[in-house]
């Protein structure tokens, strides 16, 4: 670290009072992005970060070179059949963004090669990004007749897209463009109209509009507006091309509307809003001409959800259960095809896919639909199996993606009748990657309240106990990076990362703590870590860290932690609970100023987040709870006994244009940590041209990953270690 102290934010104390509770915030002024001193302060922090990270610059470059060397830079995805075309993406060495392509289908056989004549480039994102520091294509929607494409681009990182149109058949494309579009759009059947969602000042998708191609967007028709700030609007075309489905959802409640895809001029209410009842609707057109709604819902007290079916015949659907709830096996959604359903679920804590065969005749579901299911096999535990892109409605195969902590992503076509898998593409890892050199396992840690917390771990096999190669415990404590998230019922599933090999090869073990607040073990696992139970998430993470030490996996001086966004909140809260548990922490775009943000309804996304964290603006109990664990509000200068509190070394990454976690949250947090103890070794690096997801180009993203891994490796004592021979 540089000998000179980092820049300190000028103190302009702001008094914040709510429910007769007074807080003094010395760094509240950093919220004013129009204040020249704010940008100057962030720039000074970046200068300090550059100096602080200089000692690991050589290691960063080495890791970056390793990451790039493992990537098949010039590559192509496994093509997906849709109509008369095979669709796929290409990447090219030296190019930061993908190129979207298609070629005509020649019969039904899977193509043996994608080279040669006939390829059509739909969109080259590299050309689109030329002259821009940031470029994110958030909308890429092919029309049903395959002759047009809607493209939505964000050049700032603020997740507001401008949508324009590309011709794919040589005819003139509509010349108009539509501003302030969210991520969701849907074509009418004849591609004469495009439905899209528009975002408000709080970046909430709240309106649904219809644009008729060839007309001025100023004359677009508003089909729906949602005034309740807790709810967000989305739209999608059903796979059978029959309807456009409009979900209006908060964290706890869903309302669903639909429009006929052939004539989306008005909406019909299909699923009324009832507080606490969630629903995801899918549409099915049966071979006999009947039409059905399929609802994945917790209605009727189904904590881990069930699937209902009801006829779509112009009357209010009379839903009946076709796939019952199985406690602990969370149903995340159902996808409908002409002869089968694909159910995405949680099975033994892992993402899994179940194939259900439909019947011919008046009732395609029958009396035992669930009993006719086939679970897609996985060769490893823990592993991740998810449904991939399968736009074709009438098909005997579906695309499935499978991966684990040691196995690169595989794209399989799976026979829906018996689950037989055919590998179409395996992620290439250049340099002779040998998966057998690594071992992964699922551990279970007992939390302080008796709950069993799953932990996924991967490390070099030669570090395991000699004579017992399948035991998951190392022969001696190893450096370990512990990752966590624990919010929104999001599951952090074990997936392969070629970049992570730079840590594993250096002897670092990597573990994921599947703490409560996530969705790994079903809805109850999520409920046990939200609202009044939120502190459980942080306790779980600390308990996992302590257990990894107690069980001999590592020692505190060689244990680092990492998390981003809500996972950054987890980092901050865990540091406050147990500052001695970790030697170093990486917090990426961390949500750490929770109480102040949740008190300010003008900040983007705040109101919609109240159902996740609590509403401290109106509820004094929620105020008290959030204040008790909000990382920024619980930074203290002294620990027990009055001794100075020593936090672990900290690397914080932020983005100026982040709409999900405002830049000032990490900036204020770092300033307060420094003020609490000037000896704290804290680095803040703010990307002044990106959003929540960081850099948009793949090379810039790899560079940032190399920076983080180099910093972590150095703190874990393996910065100078050479990569092991053989990989």
pLDDT tens for 560-613 read 999 999 999 999 999 999 999 999 999 999 999 999 999 999 988 899 999 999
Distance in angstroms (rounded) separating the CA atoms of residues 624 and 595: 9
> To which residue do tokens 């998230």 refer?
485
pLDDT score for 5: 62
Q: Which band of pLDDT confidence, cut at 50, 70 and 90, is reported for residue 723?
A: very low
pLDDT at 176 over 50: yes
Cα(578)–Cα(597) distance, rounded to whole angstroms? Answer: 24
Q: Model's pTM, two decimal places? A: 0.95
Q: Quick one: pLDDT at residue 108? A: 85
Tell whether the model's pLDDT for residue 722 goes beyond 60: no
Q: What residues contact residue 274 under an 8 Å CB cut-off, 6+ apart? A: 253, 299
**Catalytic residue check, 658:** yes
What is the reported pLDDT for 725? 33
Nearest one of 380, 379, 374, 384 to 419, comparing CA atoms: 374
CA dist 255 and 233 (Å) reads: 10
Q: What rounded mean pLDDT belongs to the chain?
A: 94
- In the chain, % of residues over pLDDT 90: 86
Query: In angstroms, rounded to a whole number, what is the distance separating the alpha carbons of residues 413 and 422?
Result: 5
Contact indicator for 564, 643 with CB cutoff of 8 Å? no
What are the domain boundaries of the chain?
Answer: 14-28+38-68+432-715, 77-131
Q: What's residue 314's pLDDT?
A: 84
* Selected catalytic residue, list 413, 540, 543, 658: 658
Q: How confident is the model at residue 379 (pLDDT cuts 50, 70, 90)?
A: confident
Helix (H) or strand (E) holding 441: strand 438-446
For 512-524, the pLDDT digits (tens) are 999 999 999 999 9
Mind listing the pLDDT tens digit for each residue in 387-438?
A: 999 999 999 999 999 999 999 999 999 999 899 999 999 999 999 999 999 9
- pLDDT tens column, 74-84: 999 999 999 99
Weakest mean pLDDT among 194-208, 297-311, 460-474: 460-474
pLDDT band at 472 (very low <50, low <70, confident <90, very high): low
pLDDT band at 471 (very low <50, low <70, confident <90, very high): low
Specify the pLDDT at position 2.
54
Q: What is the pLDDT of residue 468?
A: 44
CB 248 within 8 A of CB 255: yes
Q: 14-28+38-68+432-715 sits in which CATH class?
A: alpha beta
Instruction: Report the pLDDT value the prediction gives residue 8, as an integer from 0 to 100.
Output: 67
Give the per-residue pLDDT at 727.
36
The residue annotated as part of the active site, out of 257, 574, 692, 696, is 692
pLDDT tens-digit map of 124-164: 999 999 999 999 999 999 999 999 999 999 999 989 999 99
Tens-place pLDDT, residues 435-448:
999 999 999 999 99
Q: What is the pLDDT of residue 720?
A: 67
- Given this model, what pLDDT does residue 637 score? 87
- pLDDT at 469 exceeding the cut of 50: no
pLDDT score of 694 more than 90: no
Q: What does the pLDDT read at residue 466?
A: 63
pLDDT band at 721 (very low <50, low <70, confident <90, very high): low
* For range 490-504, the mean pLDDT: 97
Q: Which pLDDT band, with edges at 50, 70 and 90, does 4 fall under?
A: low
pLDDT for the residue numbered 470 = 43
What's the rounded Cα separation, in Å, for the pair 303 and 207?
30
Please state, in angstroms and rounded to a whole number, the distance separating the CA atoms of residues 563 and 566. Answer: 8
Q: State both tokens at 549.
A: 């030490």
DSSP annotation string for 529-576: TSGGGTHHHHHHHHHHHHHHHHTTS--GGGEEEEEETHHHHHHHHHHH
Q: Say if residues 101 and 662 touch (Cβ distance below 8 Å).
A: no
Q: Tokens in use for 146?
A: 């395959």
- The pLDDT of residue 641 is 76
pLDDT classification of 454: cutoffs 50, 70, 90:
very high
Q: What is the DSSP letter of 91?
A: E
pLDDT band at 295 (very low <50, low <70, confident <90, very high): very high
Whole-angstrom distance, CA of residue 109 vs CA of residue 127: 33
Strands 649-655 and 584-588: parallel
Are 495 and 512 a contacting pair, CB within 8 Å?
A: no
Residue 565 known to be catalytic = yes
- Residue 452, CA distances (Å) to 440, 472, 479, 716 in order: 19, 17, 24, 28
Give residue 480's pLDDT: 98
- The residue annotated as part of the active site, out of 565, 574, 596, 630, is 565
C-alpha pair distances (Å), 260 with each of 69, 238, 568, 648: 50, 10, 43, 57
Looking from the CA of 285 toward its CB, the CA atoms found within 13 Å total: 10
Q: Residue 3 pLDDT more than 70?
A: no
Rounded Cα gap, residues 112 and 103, in angstroms: 13
51-57 average pLDDT score: 96
Higher pLDDT, 2 or 707: 707
Place of tokens 């001695």: 580
Q: Give the range among 187-191, 256-260, 617-621, 658-662 with minimum mean pLDDT.
A: 658-662
């Amino acid at each position: 670290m540089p000998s000179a102290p980092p820049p300190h934010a000028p103190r302009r104390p702001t008094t914040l009072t709510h429910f007769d509770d007074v807080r003094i915030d010395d760094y509240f002024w950093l919220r004013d992005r129009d204040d020249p001193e704010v940008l100057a302060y962030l720039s000074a922090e970046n200068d300090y970060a550059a100096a602080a990270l200089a000692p690991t610059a050589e290691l960063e470059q080495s890791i970056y070179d390793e990451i790039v060397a493992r990537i098949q830079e010039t590559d192509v995805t496994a093509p997906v059949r849709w109509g008369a075309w095979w669709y796929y993406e290409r990447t090219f060495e030296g190019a930061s963004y993908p190129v979207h392509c298609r070629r005509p289908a020649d019969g039904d056989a899977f193509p043996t090669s994608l080279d040669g004549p006939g390829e059509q480039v739909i969109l080259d994102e590299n050309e689109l990004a030329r002259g821009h520091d940031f470029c994110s294509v958030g909308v890429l929607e092919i029309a049903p007749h395959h002759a047009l494409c809607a493209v939505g681009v964000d050049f700032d990182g603020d997740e507001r897209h401008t949508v324009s149109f590309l011709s794919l058949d040589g005819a003139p494309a509509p010349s108009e463009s539509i501003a302030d579009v969210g991520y969701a759009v849907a074509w009418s059947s004849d591609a004469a109209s495009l439905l899209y969602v528009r975002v408000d000042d709080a970046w909430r998708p709240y309106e649904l509009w219809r644009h008729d191609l060839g007309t001025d967007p100023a004359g677009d028709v508003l089909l729906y507006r949602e005034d309740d700030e807790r709810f967000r609007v989305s739209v999608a075309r059903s796979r059978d091309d029959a309807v456009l489905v409009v979900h209006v959802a908060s964290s706890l409640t869903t309302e669903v509307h639909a429009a006929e895809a052939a004539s989306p001029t008005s909406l019909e209410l299909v699923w009324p809003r009832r507080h606490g009842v969630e629903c995801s609707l899918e549409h099915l057109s049966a071979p006999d001409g009947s039409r059905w709604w399929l609802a994945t819902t917790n209605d009727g007290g189904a904590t881990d959800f069930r699937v209902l079916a009801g006829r779509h015949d112009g009357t209010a659907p009379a839903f009946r259960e076709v796939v019952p709830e199985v406690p602990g096996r969370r149903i995340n959604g159902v996808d409908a095809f002409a002869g089968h359903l694909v159910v995405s679920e949680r099975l033994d804590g892992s993402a899994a896919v179940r194939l259900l065969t439909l019947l011919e005749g008046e009732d395609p579901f029958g009396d035992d639909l669930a009993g006719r299911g086939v679970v897609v096999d996985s060769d490893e535990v823990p592993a991740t199996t998810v449904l991939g892109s399968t736009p074709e409605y009438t098909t005997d195969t579906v695309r499935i993606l499978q991966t684990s902590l040691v196995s690169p992503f595989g794209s399989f076509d799976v026979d829906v009748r018996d689950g037989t898998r055919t590998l179409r593409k395996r992620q290439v890892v250049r340099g002779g990657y040998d998966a057998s050199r690594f071992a992964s396992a699922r551990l279970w840690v007992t939390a302080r309240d008796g709950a069993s917390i799953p932990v996924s771990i991967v490390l070099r096999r030669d570090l395991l106990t000699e004579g017992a190669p399948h035991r998951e415990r190392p022969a001696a404590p190893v450096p370990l990076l512990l990752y966590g998230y624990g919010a929104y019922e999001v599951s952090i599933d074990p997936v392969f990362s070629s970049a992570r090999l730079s840590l594993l090869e250096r002897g670092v073990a990597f573990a994921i703590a599947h703490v409560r607040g996530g969705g790994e073990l079903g809805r109850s696992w999520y409920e046990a870590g939200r609202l009044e139970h939120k502190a459980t998430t942080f306790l779980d993470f600390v308990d996992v860290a302590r257990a990894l030490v107690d069980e001999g996996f590592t020692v505190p001086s060689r244990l680092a932690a990492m998390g981003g966004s809500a996972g950054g909140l987890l980092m901050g809260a865990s540091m406050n609970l147990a500052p001695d548990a970790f030697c170093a922490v990486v917090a990426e775009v961390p949500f750490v100023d929770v109480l102040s943000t949740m008190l300010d309804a003008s900040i983007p996304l705040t109101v919609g987040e109240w159902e996740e964290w609590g509403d401290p603006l109106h509820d004094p109990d929620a105020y008290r709870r959030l204040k008790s664990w909000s990382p920024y509000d619980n930074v203290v200068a002294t620990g027990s006994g009055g001794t100075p509190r020593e936090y672990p070394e900290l690397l914080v990454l932020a983005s100026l244009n982040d709409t999900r976690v405002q830049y000032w949250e990490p900036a204020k947090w770092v300033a307060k940590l420094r003020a609490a103890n000037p000896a704290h070794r804290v680095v803040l690096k703010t990307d002044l041209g990106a959003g929540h997801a960081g850099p948009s180009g793949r090379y810039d993203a790899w560079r940032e990953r190399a920076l983080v891994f180099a910093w972590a490796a150095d703190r874990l004592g393996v910065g100078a270690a050479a990569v092991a021979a053989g990989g």
